[in-house]
Amino acid sequence: MLITAEELASIKRQAVAEYPNECCGVILVRGTERRHMPCRNVQDQMHARDPMTFPRTARNAYYMDPLDALRLNRLVDEGFAFAVIYHSHPNAGAYFSETDRAQALIKGELAYPGATYLVVSVVGREVRALAAYQWNADRRVFERADDGDLDAKEPSASRRLLAAAERRIPGGVNSPVRAFRSVGGEPRFVARAEGARLWDEDGRAYIDFVGSWGPLVLGHAPRAVVDAVTTAAQRGTSYGAPTAAEGELAARIAAAYPSMEMVRLVSSGTEAAMSAIRVARGATGRDLLVKFDGCYHGHADSLLVKAGSGGATFGIPDSRGVPPALAALTLTLPFNDVGAVRDLFAARGSDIAALIVEPVAGNMGVVPPAPNFLAALREITTQHGALLIFDEVITGFRVAYGGAQELYGVRPDLTCLGKIIGGGLPVGAYGGGRDVMDQVAPLGAVYQAGTLSGNPLAVAAGLATLKALEDRKAYARLDALGAQLQRGLRDAADKAGLPLTVNRVGSMLTGFFCAGPVRDYAEAKTADTARYARFYHGMLDRGVYLAPSQFEAAFVSLAHTDDDLEHAARAAANAIGAAV
């Protein structure tokens, strides 16, 4: 037994009572005797008295009342031992963070041997998740100690699946944002999806506005795509050899994107961006890359960087495992700041191989390009002999059939596309003018290869998807649905009297919980993430599935109906009111 039902109920009451502050306490044992001791968090008082010594940071979110520390010491002197040490994560997930780990260890050894660490996720004065962890001295890691069954009154298949997954998958998920850590609670494990809906393992249905992060423009499991994949699978799942279908897909892409005279299929958007950058460096003979704060282009080492102390400084690693020397080859600038781009190219233009940009930012939330921003990037890169790369992994075939470059009338040198050209299956592509793409092996000296490139299942799904979109009539419908969702969010915020800035381009949008405007990453970060977390769970409780992060996009699909959008608007009106 890790914890009794009575102890758990008391801990949950304490966590809710002390929200939005962090709570803490212990359960001590002496023989068969158990004693629960909640501890007071006096961090607010200490910060008010001495903000320098007691800053408001994750590591300093909790400061135990010294009187409670004395009481604990007396109980230990009386023979009690620590059985459970618990704390809450307000507006965050129930996980054992690096900060938690650092505070549980003293010089690399567990401060309280044998103790179980319980983490409670609280959002909007409601406990959303629980997880217990114990120290494995042999492996020197904290491991999940429960089976997702701590709260017997609230059984959940997703909770049990997450606990099991954490034992074999880092964080229990295969992509970090899925872990719900920025909104609290725990992820819903999906059992199936169809049209505009998905169902979790507990049988609950949700109207889905994530759509596998954008590519499912036709909705889940459209008949044409399912039939195409089924037929292709019957002929074999992978060949590692050329097929007629991949040539057809490349031709359709080139027809939609005149800038992509030649196309190379790959297996992901990350691979597409990584390869396009390599081609740009090979074609120009230069090393430096320019990207924008808040724009995400996959997890290749040279792209996981953040800005230094000034706009023109070399990047520094934004992830462990990225060598500083490699990160130094990437320069970062504020999105939508043409002046900063001109200044950087004036200083370093002869060393810059390429500038890569999401023409409509989607990974800091949706941020449209300012008027003439993309045209200015085209002008500046051309002037300095650098290549312009549009990362259209999200916007390609989404904001228009010809992507953002069609929508804004700007032609890049290289373009990256993602899962939408595979109907949501793992695929990507990069391409550009013949003079640039002739650099790619086997024609040129820029090497890039992949066994699953042009996979027949993904290509079949992609062809079926593009055929459904090629008459372009679908985009008026997508835009109307996007506008309807935007109005629903805007009306709900106005009714509640809350600041909300809704940025939308076609069928992709983000509602930022701030007064706005939101034109770059710095302004996006002013959004109230705690309020978004409360809103997110309010929507989830009402059957609406949004991205579990303030800094992501919502997507509508052709499978969504007017009734779906009206349901979402009603849900938003209630959820935003509860998020105050």
* Res 306: pLDDT: 72
Beta bridge partners of 387: 354
The single residue of 68, 200, 208, 391 carrying the catalytic annotation is 391
Confidence bin at 309 (pLDDT 50/70/90):
very low
Two structure tokens written together for 273: 């961006």
Two structure tokens written together for 257: 């994107």
The single residue of 95, 117, 133, 296 carrying the catalytic annotation is 296
Q: Which part of the chain has CATH 3.90.1150.10?
A: 190-220+473-578
Q: Which part of the chain has CATH 3.40.140.10?
A: 5-179
pLDDT, average across residues 411-429? 97
CATH class of the 190-220+473-578 domain in this structure: alpha beta
Query: Which residues are CB-contacts of 288 (< 8 A; sequence separation ≥ 6)?
Result: 329, 330, 331, 348, 351, 352, 353
Identify whether the C-beta of residue 113 lies closer than 8 Å to the C-beta of residue 124. no
Identify whether the C-beta of residue 519 lies closer than 8 Å to the C-beta of residue 336. yes
Q: 296 an active-site residue?
A: yes
CATH number for the segment(s) 257-294+334-469: 3.40.640.10
Whether residue 193 has pLDDT greater than 50? yes
Confidence bin at 308 (pLDDT 50/70/90):
very low
Q: 12 an active-site residue?
A: no
Q: Which part of the chain has CATH 3.40.640.10?
A: 257-294+334-469
Q: Of 346-350, 433-437, 469-473, 552-556, which gets the smallest average pLDDT?
A: 469-473
pLDDT tens for each residue of 334-373: 999 999 999 999 999 999 999 999 999 999 999 999 999 9
Domain at 5-179, CATH from 3.20.20.80, 3.30.70.260, 2.30.30.60, 3.40.140.10: 3.40.140.10
Number of helices (H), then strands (E), belonging to the chain: the values are: 18, 24
* Res 310: pLDDT: 38
Query: Which residues are CB-contacts of 233 (< 8 A; sequence separation ≥ 6)?
Result: 457
Task: Compute the half-sphere exposure of residue 407: CA atoms within 13 Å on the CB side of its CA.
Answer: 24
* Res 213: pLDDT: 96
Two structure tokens written together for 298: 């996959």
Q: Within a 10 A sphere around the Cβ of 181, how many other Cβ atoms?
A: 22
The single residue of 413, 419, 430, 475 carrying the catalytic annotation is 419
Confidence bin at 45 (pLDDT 50/70/90):
confident
Whether residue 313 has pLDDT greater than 50? no
Confidence bin at 60 (pLDDT 50/70/90):
low
* pTM (predicted TM-score): 0.94
Task: Return d(Cα 215, Cα 218) in angstroms, integer.
Answer: 8
Whether residue 311 has pLDDT greater than 90? no
- Asked if residue 20 has a cis previous peptide bond (ω within 30° of 0), the answer is yes
Q: Residue 212 burial (CB < 10 Å; 0-12/13-18/19+)?
A: middle
Identify whether the C-beta of residue 389 lies closer than 8 Å to the C-beta of residue 356. yes
pLDDT tens for each residue of 552-578: 999 999 999 999 999 999 999 999 988
* Res 226: pLDDT: 98
Identify the three-state secondary structure at position 56. Answer: coil
262 closest CA partner among 421, 430, 386:
430
Q: What percent of the chain has pLDDT over 70?
A: 97
Q: 239 an active-site residue?
A: no
